[in-house]
Amino acid sequence: MSAVLERFLRYVKIDTESDRDSETYPSSAKQLDFLRLLADELRQIGLSEVNMDQFGYVTATLEATTNAPAPVIGFIAHVDTSPDFCGKDVKPQIVENYDGGDIILNAAEQIVLSPRRFPDLLKYRGETLITTDGTTLLGADDKAGVAEIMSAMEYLRAHPEIPHGKIRVAFTPDEEVGAGVEHFDVPAFGADFAYTVDGGEVGELEVETFNAAGARVYVRGRNVHPGTAKGVMLNALRIAMEYDALLPVFDRPEHTEKTEGFFHLMLLKGEVESAQMEYIIRDHDDQRFQSRKALMQSAADYLNRKHGETVVELTLKDQYYNMKKMIDPHPRIMEIARAAYEALGIEPRIIPVRGGTDGSRLSYMGLPTPNLFAGGHNMHGRYEFVPVCALEKAVQVIVRICELAAAG
């Protein structure tokens, strides 16, 4: 078993689910347990300047093996798993020599990972896959990235004959709830540029992310006995439904792709007296992003005018922005990554991320940070899987980036 696979299987069994409703940082204490484990492993590998700060950020240094001028490169991955699906008691399954057919994740629950629904599976005939048991997510987002960075650092430490400059490593909490680098100290990290290892399948190289915001909609109703409700009752649930209907029906995740943005209703709960909705808003284009937020406010204003009182209150909060404009002025960062991919026979696929990474915010904090593939598919759910070959190729890419950056 390769070092990166051993690490990955061990890491995904550790529950690190983040919590959107928490007011602490990190949002869940269990992330700190895993971060402490990573700090200990970094020391065991032989990295220096290993530190875990008050916010849980773990950073470390792999010292240079060359005296030649070389940029200081950072590699970053997040430790939390998405609260969208259960991340506790993950039981990874190893599928060797995948034959291209259905994979039974859970016979008792009749949960099947099928290439009819997930045709990307067919790319991996003959390969070894890691899947879930159908009851949890897997956690490749982003424990694959964590395992890959750790394994690459271990490899470089064991092979000092490979010339490279100073390397900085960081592991962050709470990326999945939009707060991954909220307290990250970029000057103290001291990298000239960095790469997150948080992408999807082999070959993905990402420099463009969504602009992102979160929205909370609070609806005030008025409840009275339904027998005497005429002209008096305001049903908050129906007003909530009306609000959602004012947003474009085809601007939803299930109807969009590529650079098309969306409104995504993630939560709806309530009763006649009050209701609450939570949305995320996404768009790659700055102007369309602002228009989407304005539309949500216009919908609230319309319903308040219609009912003659404040029945809808909207709170919007920007989460991160498209990092492309901050990375494009530094073309060497992408040139090094492309060259590393090509040297390993990997065709770079430079595509817009239909999501965000810690790099989205770090790039605006002065640390240009594109995103490398980590290898996972179908993240945030029971059908998540990762090919072992992808884990191993990501390690090779990290090592080659370090080598190429030092070559000038």
The percent of the chain in helix, strand and coil, each rounded to the nearest 5, is 35, 25, 40
Which one is catalytic: 19, 141, 174, 175?
175
Nearest-angstrom CA–CA distance, 171 and 7:
15
CA 278 to chain centre: 19
* Placement of tokens 């909705």 in the chain: 277
The DSSP 8-state label assigned to residue 170 in this structure reads E
Phi first, then psi: give them for residue 77, nearest 5 degrees: -145, 155
The DSSP 8-state label assigned to residue 46 in this structure reads T
Is residue 175 annotated as a catalytic residue, yes or no?
yes
* Placement of tokens 């991320």 in the chain: 353
Is residue 185 annotated as a catalytic residue, yes or no?
no
Alpha helices in 13-92 (DSSP H): 29-45
Nearest-angstrom CA–CA distance, 395 and 345:
14
Question: Comparing C-alpha atoms, which of 199, 207, 209, 206 is closest to residue 393?
Answer: 199
Dihedral angle, C-alpha 195, 340, 156, 164, nearest 10 °: -80
Nearest-angstrom CA–CA distance, 73 and 169:
8
Q: What value, to the nearest 5°, has the Cα angle with vertex 50 and ends 138 and 7?
A: 25
Question: Comparing C-alpha atoms, which of 354, 355, 217 is closest to residue 279?
Answer: 217
152, 123 contact by CB (below 8 A): no
Nearest-angstrom CA–CA distance, 291 and 143:
35
Which one is catalytic: 19, 80, 208, 358?
80
Tell me how far CA of residue 236 lies from CA of 278, 306, 317, in angstroms.
15, 14, 23
Give the dihedral sign, CA 31/34/40/44. negative
109: three-class secondary structure by DSSP: coil
Annotated catalytic residues are: 80, 175
